[in-house]
C-alpha cells in the first residue's frame, strides 16, 4: 500500500543566477561600497541595499532568505546576470527527491502555472483542483568558496559556498489554503508544513493557523506531521507559528543557519557546547517535542522521537550530498555513490561527544566529505527533507510520542 505523502504549503519558480564575479565587482565599484557599510540591512528597498545584503552574507559564508520591498530593485539585480528557471520551495524540491526514490507525493502549492508544471518530475503532482496562478520567481544567489570582491577600502571573501534567496512573492503570501487539503491526507501518512515564513500580513497568518490547527486536530490516525522552519520575512511571526503549530508537529526541522537565527546568536557547528546550548534553546520552546537539525557536517535529531530517526537522517544526508555533487542529475544511484565517500571528520567527533552534552535523547549522523568542482548549494536542506521523509516511510518510523511513552 502506498503511503499518503502531502507536501505543503508553498512552491515557487526560482531564478537561479549565474553569479559572474566580474559583473558583481563592476556593480560594487559603481556603488562605491566601503567595508563599514557591509552589515545586514534591516530592510531592503534598493538595489544598493540588496548588494550590501549579499556581501554581508558572503563575508560570513552563510545562507539566508530576505524579503525585498521593491520588485524593481529585485528585477534590476536579477537582470544583470545570466539565469536559469527551476522549481523552488521546500515542499516542491522535497517532492522531487521523494519521487526519484520511488515515493509518489501530492504538492500543495499556491496555484497551477504552466511553466511550473512543465518542470515537475513524474510522481510529484499538483492536484487538478488547484487554481491557476502566475508565479513571481524567487531570485537565488549561489556563491562559491573563496570568492573575493574588492571594496573601496578593503575586500570581502567567502569562507564557504552557500546560497541566498531574495523574495517578493505575493502569490505565496496571499493565496489561501486549498479546501481539499484535508481530503488528501491518509492514515499513517505524512504531511509537511513549510512556506509560512513568506506571510507578512497578521490577519492572513491567523487565518492560516486557524485552518491548519483544525486540520491537525482532526487528522487521520497515525498522520506524521513534519514542520520545516525558515527565516521569516516578519521575524515576530516565527514565535507565533511555533506556539500554535510547531507544537502539534511530530518533528521540527531546520538547518544550521536557521538554528542560529532562532537562538539569536552564532552557532559554531563544530563546537559541541554551542550546539547543545542552541538545541536546548529550541527544545525549551517545544516541550516534549523533537527537533531535527541538518548541516554540512552532520544531521541530528534531539527529543522524544530521536531514536526512531537515525536511519532516516542517513537517507537525508545521502540525498543532500548527492545534490551537492550531482545537482539536478542526482537519482537513487547517486545516493549509493555518496555513501562510498569518507565520513566527515567533524561529524564523527560531534557524534561521539554531543550526546553527553544534552539533557535529552539524541542521535547524530555524520555527513560525508564531499568534493565537487561545481557544487550545488541551492536546495540542499529541501533535498535533505525529501530523503528524510523517504527514510521515515521506508523504516516505518511512527513518530508517535504516546507509543514511545507506553512502550
**pLDDT tens digits, one per residue of 54-65:** 999 999 999 999
| Chain segment 355-404, per-residue pLDDT in tens | 999 999 999 999 999 989 889 989 999 999 999 999 999 999 999 855 44
**pLDDT tens string 67-85:** 999 999 999 999 999 999 9
pLDDT at 139: 96
Asked if 155 and 149 touch (Cβ cutoff 8 Å), the reply is: yes
Residues 120 and 139 in one domain: no
pLDDT at 401: 56
Same domain, 338 and 210: yes
Same domain (yes/no): 162, 94: no
Are residues 325 and 297 located together in one domain of the fold?
yes
Task: Count how many domains the chain has.
Answer: 2
Instruction: List pLDDT tens digits, range 128-143.
Output: 989 898 888 899 999 9
Q: How far, in Å, CA of 373 to CA of 366, rounded? A: 22
Q: Does 122 share its domain with 179?
A: yes
* pLDDT band per the 50, 70, 90 thresholds, residue 171: confident
Same domain, 95 and 119: yes
Same-domain check for residues 99 and 150: no
Instruction: Assess whether pLDDT exceeds 90 at residue 212.
Output: yes
Q: Does the reported pTM lie above 0.75? A: yes
In this predicted model, which residue has the larger pLDDT, 156 or 246? 156
44 and 124 share one domain: no
> Which whole-number Å values give the CA distances from 247 to 60, 209, 316, 317, in the listed order?
32, 12, 23, 25
Would you say residue 406 lies in a domain? Answer: no
Range of the domain at 142: 20-80+134-169
Residues 15, 344: Cα–Cα separation, whole Å: 32
Could you give the C-alpha distances from 237 to 128, 139, 334, in angstroms and in order?
31, 23, 38
25 and 119 in a single domain? The answer is no
Q: Is there a domain that residue 388 lies in? A: yes
The residue with cell 521523494 is: 98
Specify whether 165 is located in the same domain as 261: no
Query: Going by C-beta distance under 8 Å and a sequence separation of 6 or more, which residues neighbour residue 263?
Result: 277, 278, 281, 282
The CATH code of the domain that includes 139 is: 3.30.1110.20
Same domain, 108 and 145: no
Asked whether residue 3 carries a pLDDT value surpassing 50, the answer given is: yes
pLDDT, position 405: 42
pLDDT score, position 1 = 65
Does residue 407 lie within any of the structural domains?
no
Are residues 109 and 241 located together in one domain of the fold?
yes
Instruction: Please check whether residue 88 is in contact with residue 195, taking contact to mean a CB–CB distance below 8 angstroms.
Output: no
Amino acid at each position: 500500500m502506498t503511503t499518503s505523502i502531502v507536501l505543503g504549503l508553498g512552491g515557487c519558480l526560482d531564478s537561479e543566477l549565474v553569479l559572474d564575479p566580474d559583473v558583481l565587482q563592476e556593480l560594487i565599484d559603481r556603488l562605491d561600497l566601503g567595508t563599514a557599510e557591509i552589515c545586514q540591512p534591516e530592510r531592503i528597498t534598493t538595489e544598493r541595499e540588496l548588494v550590501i545584503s549579499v556581501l554581508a552574507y558572503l563575508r560570513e559564508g552563510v545562507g539566508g532568505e530576505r524579503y525585498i520591498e521593491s520588485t524593481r530593485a529585485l528585477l534590476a539585480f536579477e537582470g544583470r546576470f545570466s539565469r536559469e528557471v527551476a522549481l523552488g520551495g521546500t515542499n516542491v524540491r522535497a517532492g522531487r527527491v521523494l519521487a526519484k526514490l520511488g515515493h509518489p507525493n501530492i504538492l500543495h502549492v499556491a496555484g497551477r502555472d504552466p511553466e511550473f508544471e512543465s518542470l515537475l518530475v513524474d510522481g510529484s503532482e499538483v492536484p487538478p483542483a488547484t487554481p491557476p496562478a502566475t508565479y513571481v520567481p524567487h531570485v537565488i544567489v549561489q556563491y562559491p568558496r573563496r570568492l573575493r570582491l574588492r571594496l573601496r577600502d578593503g575586500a570581502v571573501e567567502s569562507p564557504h559556498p552557500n546560497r541566498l534567496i531574495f523574495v517578493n512573492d505575493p502569490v505565496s503570501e496571499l493565496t489561501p489554503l486549498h479546501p481539499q487539503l484535508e481530503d488528501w491526507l491518509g492514515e499513517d501518512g505524512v504531511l509537511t508544513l513549510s512556506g509560512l515564513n513568506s506571510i507578512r500580513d497578521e490577519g492572513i497568518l491567523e487565518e492560516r493557523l486557524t485552518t491548519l490547527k483544525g486540520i491537525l486536530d482532526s487528522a487521520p490516525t497515525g498522520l506524521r506531521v513534519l514542520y520545516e522552519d525558515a527565516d521569516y520575512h516578519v521575524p515576530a511571526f516565527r514565535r507565533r507559528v511555533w506556539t500554535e503549530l510547531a507544537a502539534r508537529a511530530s518533528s521540527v526541522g531546520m538547518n544550521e543557519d536557521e538554528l542560529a537565527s532562532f537562538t539569536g546568536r552564532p552557532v559554531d557547528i563544530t563546537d559541541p557546547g554551542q550546539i547543545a546550548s542552541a538545541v536546548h534553546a529550541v527544545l525549551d520552546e517545544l516541550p516534549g517535542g523533537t527537533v531535527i537539525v541538518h548541516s554540512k557536517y552532520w544531521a541530528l535529531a534531539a527529543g522524544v522521537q530521536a531514536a526512531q530517526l537515525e536511519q532516516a537522517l542517513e537517507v537525508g544526508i545521502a540525498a543532500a550530498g548527492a545534490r551537492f555533487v550531482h545537482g539536478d542529475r542526482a537519482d537513487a544511484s547517486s545516493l549509493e555513490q555518496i555513501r562510498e565517500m569518507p565520513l566527515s571528520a567533524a561529524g564523527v567527533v560531534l557524534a561521539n561527544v554531543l550526546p553527553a552534552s544534552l539533557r535529552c535523547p539524541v542521535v547524530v549522523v555524520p555527513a560525508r566529505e564531499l568534493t565537487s568542482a561545481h557544487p550545488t548549494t541551492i536546495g540542499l536542506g529541501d533535498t535533505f527533507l525529501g530523503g528524510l521523509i523517504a527514510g521515515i516511510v521506508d523504516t516505518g518510523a511512527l513518530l508517535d510520542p504516546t507509543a514511545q511513552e507506553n512502550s
